[in-house]
Amino acid sequence: MHVIGSRKRKLVNGSGEHRLLVIRRMRCCQCRKIHHELPDCVVPFKRYESECLEHVVSQSEAASTVAADDATLRRWKHWFREQSTYLLGALRSIAIRFHQDPVEKSSAPSQTAHQAYGHIVGDAPGWLARIVRPVVNLNLWVHTRSAFLSG
């Protein structure tokens, strides 16, 4: 890949402050496709830092400290619930592809998505970034924006 330029990307942190990132645009020398560098703090198509989303989706119904309205927080939780099965499957597929032992499903009756992710990427802070990066880098990210869903 070689760098062909950059683009600006706005990102909001947990306190509601905006910051501007400069994301490098790169072109693959083989396939000629353009790719954007993905910092760990970015989740594709989300305007808040991954740390904010991680905090919201991992807590129960308790009040959030993230500076976003309730509808946004509900949408994030819904998005995470909807994507959980796919993301777990993608991570298992990546493990198999790179000849690593995928984590066996637990015999426990029903695990939460957080417990299942914890077995694969750990439960230390930054777990969402550790899920997003490999899925995006192997071009397995599902576009969930409405423009991609219309027929």
pLDDT at 102 over 70: no
**CA 2 remoteness from chain centre:** 25
Tell me, what's the pLDDT at 60?
Answer: 63
Tell me, what's the pLDDT at 149?
Answer: 52
Give the pTM.
0.78
Tell me, what's the pLDDT at 141?
Answer: 87
pLDDT at 145 over 80: no
The secondary structure of the chain, three-state, reads: CEEEEEEEEEEECCCCCEEEEEEEEEECCCCCCEEECCCCCCCCCCCECHHHHHHHHHCCCCCCCCCCCHHHHHHHHHHHHHHHHHHHHHHHHHHHHCCCCCCCCCCCCCCCHHHHHHHHHCCCCCHHHHHHHHHHHCCCCCCCCHHHHCC
For residue range 107-138, list pLDDT tens digits in order: 555 556 666 777 778 778 899 999 999 898 88
For residue range 44-92, list pLDDT tens digits in order: 989 999 999 999 988 766 567 888 999 999 999 999 989 988 999 999 8
Tell me, what's the pLDDT at 114?
Answer: 64
List the domain boundaries for the chain.
Answer: 2-149
